[in-house]
């Protein structure tokens, strides 16, 4: 299948990225452009999904942007990799569970490259390492075009999580690749690209 793979080396503002995603959904739906997988980072921002609760906001000093993705409240910041996608499930079996499993598998394979064992959890969606969450997944589907994606904590500032209960969880239950690997963290974008393309091509 034809997929455009994009890597942004400079942080991308969240609203700009969201506009691009939503425009791409329409273009894929109308067969004007191919599917997309996009690796990037965002400057610090807190976002809420369709299942967000005000009880998970622990500080009145943060601004939270509402989105139409699945999930609750989370954050994006420097050192956290975002993998956005726009995928046409009309050509991929129209199975959201299969899509989520492929995303989970790509993240688990990526972590394994750094000798880290990640596990999926059906009750608390995302990828976990030794009981702590390292990756969040949030997806929306419009006319069987799936978009948004996942985030993976690489070497970001985990203290930023103290102002929320991320995904409704205790904010001490968050970890990063930097915290759990003994290997040098390198070739992040290349390894992410390889792992995701193997799942989706």
Strand partners, 132: 129
- Each residue of 78-137: pLDDT tens digit? 999 999 999 999 999 999 999 999 999 999 999 999 999 999 998 888 999 999 999 999
- The whole-number average pLDDT for the span 135-143 is 94
The predicted pLDDT at position 144 comes to 98
- Each residue of 157-192: pLDDT tens digit? 999 999 998 877 777 799 999 999 999 999 999 999
CATH number of 3-200: 3.30.930.10
DSSP string, 107-175: HHHHHHTTT---EE-SSS-SEEETTEEEEEEEEEEETTEEEEEEEEESS--GGGGGGB-GGGS-TTSB-
The predicted pLDDT at position 54 comes to 86
Is the pTM higher than 0.75? The answer reads yes
Longest dimension (CA), the chain: 46
The predicted pLDDT at position 69 comes to 84
- The whole-number average pLDDT for the span 136-165 is 95
Is residue 75 over pLDDT 80?
yes
The predicted pLDDT at position 152 comes to 98
**What is the Cα–Cα distance from 111 to 115, expressed in whole angstroms?**
7
- The whole-number average pLDDT for the span 35-60 is 92
**What is the Cα–Cα distance from 54 to 184, expressed in whole angstroms?**
38
The predicted pLDDT at position 55 comes to 86
Strand partners, 146: 87, 141
Stated as kind and residue range, the H or E segment containing 151 is: strand 145-153
**What is the Cα–Cα distance from 174 to 42, expressed in whole angstroms?**
18
DSSP strand pairing (45-48 vs 64-66): parallel
- Which pLDDT band holds residue 51 (cuts at 50, 70, 90)? confident
Are 35 and 67 in contact, with CB atoms under 8 Å apart? no
The predicted pLDDT at position 1 comes to 58
- CB-based contacts of 178, cutoff 8 Å, min separation 6: 79, 154, 155, 185
What Rg value do the Cα atoms of the chain yield, rounded? 16
Q: How high is the mean pLDDT of the chain?
A: 94
**What is the Cα–Cα distance from 102 to 128, expressed in whole angstroms?**
16
Catalytic residue among 82, 152, 167, 195: 167
Has 195 been annotated as catalytic? no
Structure tokens at 59: 């500080």
The predicted pLDDT at position 124 comes to 85
């Amino acid at each position: 299948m034809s997929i455009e793979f994009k890597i942004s080396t400079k942080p991308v503002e969240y609203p700009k990225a969201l506009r691009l995603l939503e425009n791409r959904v329409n273009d894929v739906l109308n067969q004007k452009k191919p599917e997309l997988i996009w690796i990037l980072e965002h400057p610090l921002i807190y976002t809420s999904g369709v299942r967000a609760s005000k009880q998970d906001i622990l500080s009145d000093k943060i601004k939270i942007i509402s989105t139409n993705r699945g999930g609750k409240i989370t954050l994006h910041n420097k050192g956290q990799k975002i993998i956005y996608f726009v995928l046409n499930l009309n050509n991929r079996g129209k199975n959201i569970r299969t899509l989520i499993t492929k995303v989970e598998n790509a993240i688990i394979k990526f972590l394994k490259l750094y000798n880290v064992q990640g596990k999926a959890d059906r009750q608390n969606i995302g990828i976990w390492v030794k009981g702590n969450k390292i990756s969040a997944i949030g997806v929306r589907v419009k006319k069987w075009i799936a978009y948004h994606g996942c985030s993976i904590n690489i070497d970001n500032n985990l203290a930023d999580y103290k102002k929320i209960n991320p995904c409704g969880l205790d904010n001490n239950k968050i970890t990063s690749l930097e915290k759990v690997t003994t290997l040098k963290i390198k070739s992040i974008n290349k390894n992410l690209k390889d792992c995701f393309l193997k799942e989706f091509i």
